[in-house]
Structure 1
Amino acid sequence: MFAMLPATVRYDRHAETARAAALQALALLGTAPEREFDALVALAAELLGCSTALLNLVDNDQLFVKARTTLGAMTFARGTAFCDRTVIDDQLTVIDDTLSDERFRDSPLVTDVGVRFYAGAPLRVADPDGIRRAVGTLCVVDTAPRTADPRELAALAHLATLAEALLEARRTALKAIHIATTGEELVTRLGRQDQIFRQAEQIAEIGSWRLSIAEGSLDWSDNVYRIHGLPVGQKPQLHDAMRFYPEHSRTYVQQSLDNAITKGQPFSIETDFITADGRLRRVRAMADPEIVDGRMVALVGVFQDVTQRYALEQQLRRSADTDSLTGIANRAAFDRELQAAMERARHNDTPLHLALIDLDGFKAINDTLGHGAGDDVLRLTGKALSEPWLMQSVAARIGGDEFAVIVEHPALTRDIAGLRDRLEDVLRVPVEVSGVTMTSAGSVGIASFDEDCQSLRDFARRADSILYAAKRGRVGTRDMEPVG
């Protein structure tokens, strides 16, 4: 992640100037977190098995952290960052053990903090001349040395490609809004290139628009009509345009417009949208005020169909929160859901129970029937914990053969003994390989939440103690496994 770079590193001044220009064009340095970048680093950490993943942007003298999976500083001096070397070399950088690398082993963050593994992929965008320059990295770090599997590094490279696509989409949108707000002089100067601009709009699925404040009328470019599913033609009125938004989005869009007009400020919104032929899409609208003689006369902006990017973002978020084998929540998602459930229980004084589950006999199945049979047990367990009778309780795989269920529904919390018995019943999973059948079962410990549970750890520890007692009661009937 971060360490002192050797003094022998030198920068190509021309390339560095062009690279800095490409980065500045993104207007991302020091900006607030954004969901799509947060989802990318979460997925990178999940796929490479590292707790810390970061998306970094490298400026002239500083490194800016745009997204990270763990708490920490959001800016660093550029000369102290592994990522600087990744940007300079413009290639995937992997350090299996920082203590074995003479360039970095004396770094304070190696000797004091304990960073032992680093893998980073460069993120490239086009500079003003159209040459792709590395402006940042998508990287993962660990406190233990390791040798990354080639498939993990390939996954990191693929995620870096997705990050580059998001950066390029932002660059295109910012460029489009700049073009849209330059006024009549720019329109005249670009008249000969009108056809090229229209083609670029279609490729980027972006159109430009202008809302006259005094008249309340709209002017759309051709591609805004296309996004709406309308033929290019009659100038639309604002109230007609609002009908394309679902009822749950319409108020939000109207309030955003009213606020921008009242305060004379830019705005950027993203929301659901329904085309003239009934297709559900996702759109983004951005606008700046047009000022004439010190008075705002219009809002001028761009309108973009971001359906594909939004679908990708949702897919990344689902992937980052889901255990790939069982299809239920992973540990990170479970921790967030349990924390939220505890806050609801405190605020609303509603019941909350946590069920911890440890699979009995799972190791024996793995050893006797093979890992394929073990995976079948885990998948079937995940399916059993997703059944409707659990009334939308949140189920998660929190370890190798450890599961948890967050129970809030009153119908379930009224009979905890019955809930435990039913869970143990559905967790009896038979598997058969080559005529040999073995059955996995589950020990269940269910703890209730009260004011003594000050933290997530307190609550989990209480449930773990109950689970351990349940397993001790089964000594002699099932193999005992450590409860962790």
Structure 2
Amino acid sequence: MDQSPPDQFAEARRLEALRALNLLDTDPDQEFGALVALARLALRTPIVLVALIDEERLWVSASEGTDIKEIPREVSFCNHTIRGRGIFEVTDAHNDPRFADNPLVTGYPDIRFYAGIAIHAADPKYPRRRHAIGAICGIDHRPGKLDAEQEGALRNLGRLAEGLVASRAAASGALRIAETTQRQAVELSRRDRTFREAERMAQIGSWRFQFSDRSLTWSEGIYRLHDLNVSEPPSAERALEFYPPHARERLRQAMADTRSTGEPFDLELDFITASGGQRRVRTVGGLELEDGEPVAMTGVFQDVTERYQLEQSLRRSASIDEVAGIANRNAFNRELEVAMDEAEREKTPLALVLVDLDGFKQVNDTNGHVAGDDVLRAVGQRLHAPWLAESFAARLGGDEFALIVRDPTLCGDIDTMVATLVENLKRPVETGAGPLRISGTAGYAAFGPAIGSMREFIHRADTALYEAKRTERGTARRSSALMHPPRAISASGS
């Protein structure tokens, strides 16, 4: 990576683009905080940063896994990232002559692996030019290498970070313009044209609600985002009808709170346009005062559908086992915690089934990993079968699977359900190496007052699984925590 001094003019423009965003030396950013949490799941590294590169320092705008706020620019890995194109990756810093003596490698935070991608922002004076103002990166204390899925996720995270930066700049700029147009009538025409162009480019609009007569005023951008003609101004009550009932109530309450407390609101809500289009929008509002008294509420409205869908896609990809096509261990842990809380609160039934495939290592060793993947996919499909009444299926790793059962009918006859499941797992799987016979051994437990933690719940099902495997593979055993004593359950349920 080229570490020659940067072109002075380009560096000056880069620094101006960075400082125009007013992101340096600020409190932790909530949106970047959500982004690094998402990045930590996608990259599977203990440390994730959104870092901004100032003239002589790196400033951490958001992070997980470290409390570092700033470091000298000259020792930062992100300084290398912004000099190049695409992903910058260091698989083992201890063996890399560029970094072996770096204090971040020899001391805290003991960097061994690094992968980052630059975050770009538009030049304030030359909008077509973009400058690398910082980076989003993952850091590990162990050597590593991104796989293809992680590379794709990191590129998407970089685009998402740039979208957040652009959204922040556009929204704050539009709000400043909207407030200025109301105070400075002499510049109204020029600022109005600028504002309309900013609305069009950033997919935003401004609104104003007058308290005295309950009149609502929209900018042109608001009409565009509602799919309405500017000749059809709606009433305040009609404007709320564009939101689904749950979102409508949140917005109504937020506006009431702002009027009573003076604190501005900032919400993301589901939204339905006049033509039926479903969107995700961000709406921001605050009080307008005259002589210290509130006379109106003004705000900005923005379409964030694309960014929201990308976030949801990244969250889904971070929760799915790509081979089996069902939830992964992280998603399982979250779901089990929710299910236990609900069962305890609502007094509803809940059961946990753990399954180990029998002889899966031999399948891989004899027929290859492609055939092994075919087996894992087939098991994932069988654990997601309609007869299981939307039970939550997950692959915990290797040949280990789990099923969270909430359905009252299935929980009421859990012995029969598990026996049927074990029987279904014995059906041959069609693979590229031909049909393969498989089987699974299961252990299961029912949730009850005696179970005080998720760890204990899993332990009970796991203990039953261990007993079943020790007794006979391809069978199931119920935890002794159930009302009846434990016994081995055959595939027929007897």
| TM superposition score normalised by structure 1 | 0.84
> Which residue number corresponds to residue 234 of structure 2?
236
> Which residue number corresponds to residue 251 of structure 1?
249
For 1:227, what is the secondary structure of its paired residue? helix
Shift, 1:424, TM fit? 0.7
Amino acid at match of 2:383: L
Residue 91 (structure 2) pairs with residue 96 (structure 1): yes
For 1:99, what is the secondary structure of its paired residue? helix
Change (3 A) 1:114 1:454: farther
Contact 2:264–2:285 (8 Å) recurs in 1: yes
Match of 1:120 among 116, 138, 144: 116
Change (3 A) 1:38 1:452: farther
Distance in 2, Cα, partners of 1:343 & 1:434: 43
> Which residue number corresponds to residue 358 of structure 1?
356
Change (3 A) 1:33 1:209: closer
Change (3 A) 1:244 1:450: closer
Contact 1:90–1:134 (8 Å) recurs in 2: no
Amino acid at match of 1:171: A
Query: Over aligned residue pairs, what C-alpha RMSD do you find?
Result: 3.4
Contact 2:51–2:136 (8 Å) recurs in 1: no
Residue 56 (structure 2) pairs with residue 77 (structure 1): no
Amino acid at match of 2:250: Y
Output one character per residue of 1:157-199: Cα deviation in whole Å (capped at 9) or x when no partner.
3431232123212321222122112243556425246445424
Distance in 2, Cα, partners of 1:451 & 1:116: 46
Amino acid at match of 2:90: I
Contact 1:453–1:459 (8 Å) recurs in 2: yes
Match of 2:337 among 333, 336, 339: 339
Distance in 2, Cα, partners of 1:464 & 1:9: 59
Amino acid at match of 1:117: F
Amino acid at match of 2:94: L
Distance in 2, Cα, partners of 1:398 & 1:37: 25
Change (3 A) 1:11 1:369: same
Output one character per residue of 1:29-62: Cα deviation in whole Å (capped at 9) or x when no partner.
41335686256414532xxxx3435241337566
For 1:374, what is the secondary structure of its paired residue? helix
Please show how residues 10-409 of structure 1 align to structure 2 within 5 Å. 14=12, 17-18=15-16, 20-24=18-22, 29-32=27-30, 37=35, 40-42=38-40, 44-45=42-43, 50-52=44-46, 54-58=48-52, 63-64=59-60, 66=62, 68=64, 72-79=65-72, 82-86=76-80, 89=83, 92-101=87-96, 103-104=99-100, 107=103, 115-129=111-125, 130=127, 131-149=129-147, 152-153=150-151, 155-186=153-184, 188-189=186-187, 191-192=189-190, 194-195=192-193, 197-409=195-407
Which shifted more, 301-310 or 341-350? Answer: 341-350
| TM superposition score normalised by structure 2 | 0.82
Output one character per residue of 1:124-167: Cα deviation in whole Å (capped at 9) or x when no partner.
22243345333332212233213445774454234312321232
Distance in 2, Cα, partners of 1:155 & 1:311: 14
Contact 1:289–1:300 (8 Å) recurs in 2: yes
Distance in 1, Cα, partners of 2:178 & 2:361: 64
Shift, 1:15, TM fit? 5.5
For 1:422, what is the secondary structure of its paired residue? helix
Change (3 A) 1:108 1:313: closer
Distance in 1, Cα, partners of 2:464 & 2:440: 14
Distance in 2, Cα, partners of 1:112 & 1:39: 21
For 1:180, what is the secondary structure of its paired residue? helix
Distance in 2, Cα, partners of 1:475 & 1:234: 71
Which shifted more, 443-452 or 461-470? Answer: 443-452
Distance in 2, Cα, partners of 1:435 & 1:57: 49
Output one character per residue of 1:356-380: Cα deviation in whole Å (capped at 9) or x when no partner.
1111232333333333322222112
Distance in 2, Cα, partners of 1:107 & 1:161: 30
Change (3 A) 1:311 1:335: same
Distance in 1, Cα, partners of 2:411 & 2:50: 45
Change (3 A) 1:143 1:75: closer
Contact 1:97–1:117 (8 Å) recurs in 2: yes
> Which residue number corresponds to residue 457 of structure 2?
459
Amino acid at match of 1:272: D
Contact 2:340–2:350 (8 Å) recurs in 1: yes
Distance in 1, Cα, partners of 2:403 & 2:22: 46
Change (3 A) 1:109 1:405: farther
Amino acid at match of 2:71: R
Residue 472 (structure 2) pairs with residue 438 (structure 1): no
